[in-house]
Amino acid sequence: MKKRILVVDDSALMRRVCSDIINADSRYYVEDTAKNGLEALELIKRKKFDAVILDVNMPKMNGLELLRELEKQNIKVRVMMFSSTTSQGAKETIEALELGAIDFVRKPDGLAEVKGDEFRNRFLQILANVSGASLTSEAPKERSGIRAGSNKDSARTTSESIPRQTSRFAARSSDTSALTRKREETVKTGDDKNSDEESRTFGRGSFTVRQPINKEIVLRPKQAKITGDKIVALASSTGGPRALQQVIPFLPENLDAAVLLVQHMPKGFTKSLAERLDALSKMRVVEASEGEKVEKGTVYIAMGGRHMTAVKDGNGMKIKYTDLPMREGVRPSANYMYESLMDSPYAEICCVVLTGMGADGTAGIRNLETKKRIYVIAQDEPTSAVYGMPKAVAQAGLVSEILPLEKIADAVTRDVGVR
């Protein structure tokens, strides 16, 4: 059965372009279009859509206002944003992801790009991600009044009082939590009605579908604590910006490690993501710069559209970017980040894999394990928007703990300690 799509944009041209792309694909059809958020809200209340394509800047009710209204009325819908690469557009995109949008596609710069295969393929790739995503995870709760633009001191002094995500999936995740107390217990993954979408992998210029291979998940045996410097290396993709707000702000300022973070995003958006997380967090959060020294107490987010690695710099490490081809169909790739730590001075690497499509991170962690001691934490299925990357690393037998999202920051802190 074809998936039903709602296209919301005040531009008649963009509504037509989106509709033509969607209707030309056998998986989807455009059920309705709307010129603004108010029209869209009424349609969403009356009909069921598998995904909504949503512009930001529209009259009467813009895209962000619609997302706020949907959240207020507790209406769950899968949303894919149209985003501008301007500084303001990037900030609006990050806010949209925080408000519940699952992913975004960059608006084309002109008619030539609109008609090109690259835009069409990218559009359909992201639509496939979004239309197959889970709707079980809830929005991050209000963080004691901290919003973008709050000063850092305020965020640091109040973030301990930030409420944890109290989710409707807590009961369902209790079985998974129990498994972490029995690391040698074998867990079988169940079939899921969306498992075909969740197993999709990225491909350059196309989007392929692989049937899932059900495998037993065996947690790694518990290891004795060791001394020595550690580093945290975190990977996330679809649903990641929202998930990161339940992890990064809950890491303590005196965490005894730096954090390297790869979030799959194009160029122009990661700076706004870093600024938003920095405003909410005790740790310093930055978009990593070329040659920047890796220091404890800082989260380094990979620049969109480039591969971030860490290389030796005297007794420490520094950030180095490369423009190698996409890997697993993405750039930045977590695989390159993990593999760059094979030749690092750290006694242990705490690897964290959050929600995301595909399998980025698994190969890198597997290679990293040949040279370094690792401790791997994967997000569980009920709290993942897309259970792809965490599932892949778990099925590879590399995971030490499988946890609901709200427990991951505590697990990281327990593993690496505080100063």
Record the tokens describing residue 309, joined without a space: 């690695």
Residue 12 has pLDDT above 90, yes or no: yes
pLDDT surpasses 80 at 41: yes
User: Across the beta sheet with 401-403, what order do the strands follow?
Assistant: 284-287, 298-301, 259-263, 230-236, 348-353, 373-379, 401-403
Please tell me the number of Cα atoms within 13 Å of 75 on its side-chain side: 21
Higher pLDDT, 137 or 346: 346
Q: Could you identify the residue written with the tokens 């609006």?
A: 92
Question: Cβ distance 31 to 4 under 8 Å?
Answer: yes
pLDDT digits (tens, 9 = 90+) for 159-209: 343 344 433 333 333 444 444 333 333 333 333 333 333 333 333 333 333
Q: Which residue has the higher pLDDT, 217 or 212?
A: 217
The alpha carbon dihedral of 361, 363, 369, 372 has a sign of: negative
Name the phi and psi angles at 213, rounded to 5: -110, 110
pLDDT at 238: 94
| Residue 315 CB coordination number (10 Å) | 7
The confidence score (pLDDT) of residue 152 equals: 56
Same fold, 3-131 and 153-416: yes
Q: Out of 3.40.190.10, 2.20.28.10, 3.40.50.180, 2.60.40.2130, which CATH number does the structure's domain 153-416 have? A: 3.40.50.180
pLDDT digits (tens, 9 = 90+) for 218-237: 888 888 888 899 999 999 99
The pLDDT-based confidence of 302 (bands split at 50, 70, 90) is very high
pLDDT, averaged across the chain: 84
Cα distance between residue 91 and residue 100, in whole Å = 15
Name beta bridge partners: 293.
318
pLDDT in tens, 332-342: 999 999 999 99
pTM, two decimals, is 0.81
- Could you tell me the fold of the domain covering 3-131? Rossmann fold (3.40.50)
- Give CA–CA dist 343/333, Å, rounded: 18
Domain-wise residue ranges, the chain: 3-131, 153-416
Active site (catalytic) residues: 237, 264, 360
Which residue would you say has higher pLDDT here, 144 or 415? 415
- Which residue stretches of 24-103 are H helix? 37-46, 63-72, 87-98
Place 138 in a pLDDT band, splitting at 50, 70 and 90. Answer: low
Instruction: Compute the average pLDDT of residues 86-93.
Output: 89
CB-side neighbour CA atoms (13 Å) of 273: 30
All residues at 6 or more sequence positions from 175 whose CB lies less than 8 Å from its CB, including other chains? none
Among 91, 27, 30, 6, which Cα is nearest to 56's? 91
